């Protein structure tokens, strides 16, 4: 299963999320997360988070920006082969 996970990541044209890998491998996200964590520890995969959207306007006096905004969807961690 570990090598099948690497194969799916190799076939992806861009970094891939746990949710997408879970769907492709027909496994629970928690299982996929453990497999990914193994390869990250071994140095075969690189983890990253997609950039947050920019804050185009000021919401109000107590606005703390996009990092603290409850109205901006968070993009899940993404994984790719380490080069």
- What domains can you pick out in the chain, each with its CATH number? 2-81 (1.10.10.10)
Long-range pairs, 62-65, Cβ under 8 A, ≥24: none
pLDDT of the chain, 83 residues: tens digit per residue: 999 999 999 998 888 889 999 999 999 999 999 999 999 899 998 877 654 444 455 566 666 666 666 665 555 578 888 76
Q: Looking at the whole model, is its pTM more than 0.85?
A: no
> For residue 31, what pLDDT is reported?
94
Please tell me the distance from the alpha carbon of residue 45 to that of residue 72, in angstroms, as a whole number: 27
> For residue 73, what pLDDT is reported?
53
């Amino acid at each position: 299963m570990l090598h099948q996970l690497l194969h799916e990541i190799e076939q992806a044209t861009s970094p891939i999320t746990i949710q997408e890998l879970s769907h492709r491998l027909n496994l629970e996200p928690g299982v996929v997360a453990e497999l990914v964590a193994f390869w990250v520890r071994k140095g075969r995969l690189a983890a990253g988070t997609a950039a947050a959207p920019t804050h185009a306007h000021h919401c109000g006096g107590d606005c703390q920006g996009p990092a603290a905004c409850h109205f901006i969807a968070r993009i899940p961690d993404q994984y790719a082969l380490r080069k």
